Amino acid sequence: MAEFGRGIKAGIVAGIIYGIIWGIITGIIISFIWSSIVEGTGIIPLGISGSIIAGIISGLIGGIIGGIIFGLIFAAIYNALPGSSSVVKGLILALIFWLIFGLGLGYSSMAMYGTTYYIVYSVILGLIGSLIFGFLLGFFWDKFGGKQAAPAQ
């Protein structure tokens, strides 16, 4: 039987931590990209701290929503995923989603934003973000597991 409550809890906590980490990374990257867009003038509308705060807020919202969805999926297919540990299963699920969304659907961003954007965001950063989230999901899946009986001595 799938443990949907456990999946939701693990997904939310993983999503919150992921959202904070990813928000900081995204905020910094957006600040540098924006300053390069305005031709090195150093003008950053929100400033680097404002960009980080905005990145964290959007990362938390996306992390929580995505965490609930991926936590439910993880719970539903946990036993079917290859791997001997929850972390490995989380990483495999993350790679599957990255292949679909990061490479597959992210490919459409190349037409809109160019090849560099696609390679940096969808391929490199998308893979790193997916692996971070997959690791956290598997880690918290174990943390929210039932109490294990002490081994007999």
In this predicted model, what pLDDT tens digit does every residue of 141-151 receive, in sequence order? 999 985 444 44
Q: Which pLDDT score is estimated for 9?
A: 96
Examine the pLDDT at 114 and tell me if it is beyond 90: no
Q: Which pLDDT score is estimated for 148?
A: 45
- Lookup: tokens for 89: 């299963």
Q: Which pLDDT score is estimated for 100?
A: 83
Spans of all domains in the chain: 4-143
**CB contact burial 6-36 (16+ within 10 A = b; e otherwise):** bbbbbbbbbbbbbbebbbbbbbeebbeeebe
Examine the pLDDT at 98 and tell me if it is beyond 80: yes
pLDDT in tens, 17-50: 999 998 888 777 777 666 555 555 555 555 667 7
